[in-house]
Structure 1
Amino acid sequence: MTVIIGLEIHCQLNTATKLFCGCSTDYRDDGPNTHVCPVCLGLPGSLPVTNRQAVIYALKVAKALHCEVPEVSEFARKNYFYPDLAKAYQITQYDKPLALGGYVDIEGEDGREKRVELTRIHMEEDPGRLVHMGSGDRGRYTLVDYNRSGIPLIEIVTEPQLSSPKEARRFLNKLRATLEYLGIYDSEREGSLRVDANISIKGYERVEVKNITSYKGVEKALTFEITRQKGMIRRNAQIVRETRHYQEARGVTTSARSKELEHDYRYFPEPDLALMRVSSWVDEIALPELPDARRDRFMKQYGVSLNHARTLTGDLGLAEFFEEIVGDSPEIAAPWTADILLGELNYRDMPVSKVPVQEYRELLDEAGSGRITDTSAVEILRLILNQVMEGSDPEKPGAIISRLGLAKESGESFREIVATVLADNDAAVSDHRAGKNGAINFLVGQVMKATRGKADPKEIREIIDDLLKE
């Protein structure tokens, strides 16, 4: 069964004021309904004025994603009623969007580069926010906060060219990285990037899943929805065109309503806003070094492998951190940062900005000098990261090595330990003699455990071979 996925990504632009009024967008630490005015509340007689900076940010994204900017674009009214939409219509763009076409290159399912084409990028205002209070059927009610109403958004619409949840997540990671490099949105802000996904099995009806708020959530929602649709096909049940919501706590999608069609929204041009003629602005917009260009530079300048370069440049903070610590040993810094450090950070849900640069650089020097083994270096890294998370001053790697006695020792000094491990693991020794490759790794691991990682695994392998020949 062929899976077809298209995404609609809503990105909040990080401007100081809202899209059509002067209200501040920095509202998250203030009380509800404190950053509002007649315009973003849709009061009679109020008139919108377009935020120039928001348009420049949107054009910046369009240029970075290789879009065409038409000579004329236009705002329209999208009419529908919902409690978080005070004026009962949303100012958006319809048949004359800001940008058309474009593409994002990602790693496809087969490991080769895949080009995902874009349909359009258009601008619109964010609605307010519903805050659901209480639980169950007792005392449940909903509050409306209009602080978010009028925040400038761009909506990036892809062609239905993604074929799996994994590809969708790769696309979103690449897009997020590009937006971060452009400096037009704040990834730390709640709700700054939201995704609607359209999923279908080829030959069957399309289903939309609305307002997914995390990258992992997108992959999980798509996986569940694909499984649900395939199950219905196998049971000969009818798949209906509908809008569904992703319930993140339960990991399921639930039916919300039948899918609206374009004519249901009764689009018409916004009479209070003039046509925009901004295509000439694009030439004046300077782009920073973007993820693909930085990836290629890392490979050329530092000799980094393609996979490591992709990882290191896939997050702006990680890329900048790497360039700060790389020094003269990229062959050590790249795999350590892309593989080991990033894994430890993900495990702790810890941003790279919290990693102490001086201590990490010293740790790489110790590992590169051969004074400690990789096993000991990982142990030291974990200690340092845990100290940072606990709010303590990180200990210097050299001090940790001395305090815990982690300096690497000659393999010959552990010959008796190796002999003991061989004597205690007859089955693994027999497997090794029989040519089973995994047995030697097990034996080396037991020795490393007994020596607390102070031995060189290569030397231990040689001693094991020597002892087994005797």
Structure 2
Amino acid sequence: MKYEAVIGLEVHVQLKTQSKIFSASSAEFGGDANSKVDPVVIGMPGVLPVLNKKVVEYAVKMGMATNCTIARHSIFARKHYFYPDLPKGYQISQFEEPICEHGFIEVNADDGEARKINIERIHLEEDAGKSVHAEEYVAKNETLIDLNRAGVPLIEIVTEPDFRSPQEVYQYLTKIRQIVRYLEICDGNMDEGSMRCDANVSIRPVGQPELGTKTELKNMNSIRGVERALEYEIQRQISAVADGESIEQQTLLWNANKNITVAMRSKEYAHDYRYFPDPDLVPVLVSDEWRNSIAESLPELPEARKNRFMAEFKLPEYDATVITEEKELADYFEKAALTSKDPKITSNWIMGDVSRILNDGKITISEFSVPPKGLAELINLVADGTISQKIGKQVLDEILATGASAQKIVEDKGLVQISDVSAIESLVDGVLATHPDEFARFKNGEMKLMGFLVGQIMRASKGKVNPKIANEILRKKIE
């Protein structure tokens, strides 16, 4: 029997605000344990939470970016459970009336067709603290509690069970991370916990409408890790059913070292949390005026920017997708492309040599020392034939080393490309005289020697000969 997977996601996004959701403590990542704690966070008697307005604004932005309906009226609820890193005994969240509902994001299905992933809701909540087990300063069989993370603002993005493969999940999470970075509401770093994903997965026979028993996967600290955990769990469930076993509804932890899932606890239901409206917080009211103001502040989103780059700069879809993956990279490209003579060549340089330099130096485009206009100047020198592509790469390295402009480096070092036909013909004749055997084989039809001979010409000219003209002269020699 053939089975299909049914997957739904819950993505937690830490919002990049200065202070926590209901108190004035810093929400910044890091710092000494329990150094960012206050009476509200730990639930001291007599204290009251005060909602951070910026948190609501960020949630509304995310809702708009994912095609959600923004609620005019939403309320907070208390979600009760006992855990050492939750000192109040409840988490402030939203249940019956979330801030955003009924959105969607499109991904490409395995058959290449667009699939709409429906977003059931986006709701606000506070993060819990962190239990620390396996650190060098923690004794064996001991757990310490760090409450720095408690009270950090979150949005939880809950999808319908619309995914049918781990690959679709990978695309979706990549788009979510891209959107939060474009909106500048979160850095999207899963390895630091600022974006986290839990996945609910079940299997069913292909064509059967009823859902199977689901398991929940946790402890996945990268998008690739989510994909691998789902691949394993889907296969585990298929194998179990094939062996006549039943699937137990439970929460599983992904062990990335062993590439297996491990049972954590039986899965909770909503009624287990005893949700009820939080009496200390008034409803959140989003007026038309406020909503319109937030909408006007939205940046151009990744998909729209990709489509514009394809239309305005005539980029292929692949180039536009790569260039717009990061907002800063797209900003850099656009500034360079508006100054350069050829946007396509600009994208080639950014995806090629610039990306190589970024990867080798483990830096981002914002740390790249060559400004967009400086790169465009170099690209124009290559495009108009002043210097060759090979010399252009050397000039880029020189710009990085000295900070000088491309034009100055070319002039000072005498790197202008040789395009004079008679001068190049003289060089060609010299190379052919030095390599008579290769030239004879070339004349007899061994066209693969063209590359060798051009290489020798480039070497003789220290890379300054126009290779196109050299090719043309060589071809004429055998006509």
TM-score by shorter chain over 0.5? yes
Structure 2: distance between partners of 1:419 and 1:218: 60
CA contact (8 A) 2:21 2:126 kept: yes
Alpha-carbon offset, residue 201 of structure 1: 2.9
Query: In structure 1, what is the equivalent of residue 227 of structure 2?
Result: 219
Quick one: which of 289, 293, 317 aligns to 1:284? 293
Alpha-carbon offset, residue 20 of structure 1: 1.1
Query: In structure 1, what is the equivalent of residue 169 of structure 2?
Result: 168
Query: In structure 1, what is the equivalent of residue 250 of structure 2?
Result: 242
Query: In structure 1, what is the equivalent of residue 304 of structure 2?
Result: 293
Opposite residue 296 of structure 1, the aligned amino acid is N
Deviates more, 1:393-402 or 1:292-301: 393-402
Distance 1:344 1:235, change over 3 A: farther
Distance 1:188 1:156, change over 3 A: closer
Structure 2: distance between partners of 1:37 and 1:310: 44
Deviation by residue 1:395-432 (Cα, 9 ceiling, x = unmatched)? 76578879999876788756858997996xx9xxx9x9
Query: In structure 2, what is the equivalent of residue 210 of structure 1?
Result: 218
CA contact (8 A) 1:60 1:282 kept: no
CA contact (8 A) 1:367 1:373 kept: yes
Query: In structure 2, what is the equivalent of residue 270 of structure 1?
Result: 278
Q: Map of 1:354-365 to 2, 5 A cutoff?
A: 354-355=367-368, 356-357=370-371, 359-365=374-380
Q: Secondary structure at the match of 1:148?
A: coil
Query: In structure 1, what is the equivalent of residue 194 of structure 2?
Result: 192
| Matched-pair identity in % | 36
Structure 1: distance between partners of 2:247 and 2:398: 53
Deviation by residue 1:326-370 (Cα, 9 ceiling, x = unmatched)? 114312112332455346535654311122225533432343234
Q: Secondary structure at the match of 1:57?
A: helix
Query: In structure 1, what is the equivalent of residue 382 of structure 2?
Result: 367
CA contact (8 A) 2:340 2:346 kept: no
Distance 1:364 1:95, change over 3 A: same
Deviation by residue 1:366-408 (Cα, 9 ceiling, x = unmatched)? 4323455545545665x479x6xxxx65576578879999876
Q: Map of 1:419-458 to 2, 5 A cutoff?
A: 444=451, 454=463
Structure 1: distance between partners of 2:346 and 2:233: 40
Q: Secondary structure at the match of 2:140?
A: strand
Structure 1: distance between partners of 2:390 and 2:375: 15
Query: In structure 1, what is the equivalent of residue 20 of structure 2?
Result: 18
Structure 1: distance between partners of 2:259 and 2:473: 51
Distance 1:406 1:157, change over 3 A: farther
Query: In structure 2, what is the equivalent of residue 102 of structure 1?
Result: 103
Opposite residue 365 of structure 1, the aligned amino acid is N
Alpha-carbon offset, residue 158 of structure 1: 1.5
TM-score under structure 1 length normalisation: 0.80
Structure 2: distance between partners of 1:378 and 1:201: 52
Quick one: which of 344, 363, 368 aligns to 1:331? 344
Alpha-carbon offset, residue 227 of structure 1: 4.2
Query: In structure 2, what is the equivalent of residue 67 of structure 1?
Result: 68
Structure 2: distance between partners of 1:134 and 1:307: 43
Structure 2: distance between partners of 1:405 and 1:111: 51
Structure 1: distance between partners of 2:412 and 2:258: 46
Structure 2: distance between partners of 1:149 and 1:168: 28
Q: Secondary structure at the match of 1:257?
A: strand
Q: Gapped runs of 5+ residues in structure 1?
A: 434-438
CA contact (8 A) 1:42 1:86 kept: yes
Q: Map of 1:381-420 to 2, 5 A cutoff?
A: 383=397, 413=427
CA contact (8 A) 1:11 1:153 kept: yes
Q: Gapped runs of 5+ residues in structure 2?
A: 206-211
Deviation by residue 1:202-224 (Cα, 9 ceiling, x = unmatched)? 34432222243333333333334
Distance 1:94 1:111, change over 3 A: same
CA contact (8 A) 2:180 2:188 kept: no
Distance 1:240 1:462, change over 3 A: farther
Structure 1: distance between partners of 2:433 and 2:13: 58
Distance 1:328 1:466, change over 3 A: closer
Q: Quick check: 1:351 aligned with 2:364? A: yes
Deviation by residue 1:304-341 (Cα, 9 ceiling, x = unmatched)? 22332222222111111112211143121123324553
Query: In structure 2, what is the equivalent of residue 40 of structure 1?
Result: 41
Distance 1:283 1:397, change over 3 A: closer
Opposite residue 79 of structure 2, the aligned amino acid is K
Deviation by residue 1:239-274 (Cα, 9 ceiling, x = unmatched)? 433222233455443332222222222222212222
Structure 2: distance between partners of 1:422 and 1:11: 67
CA contact (8 A) 1:209 1:243 kept: yes
Q: Secondary structure at the match of 1:21?
A: coil
Structure 1: distance between partners of 2:118 and 2:451: 49
Deviates more, 1:148-157 or 1:269-278: 269-278
TM-score under structure 2 length normalisation: 0.79
Q: Secondary structure at the match of 1:36?
A: coil
Distance 1:343 1:242, change over 3 A: farther
Q: Quick check: 1:303 aligned with 2:314? A: yes
Q: Map of 1:307-326 to 2, 5 A cutoff?
A: 307-326=318-337
CA contact (8 A) 1:422 1:443 kept: no
Alpha-carbon offset, residue 233 of structure 1: 4.8
Opposite residue 317 of structure 1, the aligned amino acid is E
Bigger Rg over Cα: 2
Structure 1: distance between partners of 2:257 and 2:407: 44
Structure 1: distance between partners of 2:83 and 2:428: 72
Alpha-carbon offset, residue 162 of structure 1: 2.5
Query: In structure 2, what is the equivalent of residue 58 of structure 1?
Result: 59
Query: In structure 2, what is the equivalent of residue 436 of structure 1?
Result: none
Q: Map of 1:35-184 to 2, 5 A cutoff?
A: 35-134=36-135, 139=140, 141-184=142-185
Structure 1: distance between partners of 2:264 and 2:93: 23
Q: Secondary structure at the match of 1:310?
A: helix
Query: In structure 1, what is the equivalent of residue 209 of structure 2?
Result: none
CA contact (8 A) 2:4 2:164 kept: yes
CA contact (8 A) 1:73 1:98 kept: yes
Structure 2: distance between partners of 1:139 and 1:384: 54
Opposite residue 351 of structure 1, the aligned amino acid is T
Deviation by residue 1:104-143 (Cα, 9 ceiling, x = unmatched)? 2334444454322211000000111223344799735332
Deviation by residue 1:149-189 (Cα, 9 ceiling, x = unmatched)? 10111011122222333322222222222222223224469
Query: In structure 1, what is the equivalent of residue 6 of structure 2?
Result: 4
Deviation by residue 1:30-79 (Cα, 9 ceiling, x = unmatched)? 32212211110112232212222211221122122221123432211111
Structure 2: distance between partners of 1:449 and 1:127: 66
Deviates more, 1:153-162 or 1:116-125: 153-162
Structure 1: distance between partners of 2:29 and 2:77: 27
CA contact (8 A) 1:76 1:269 kept: yes
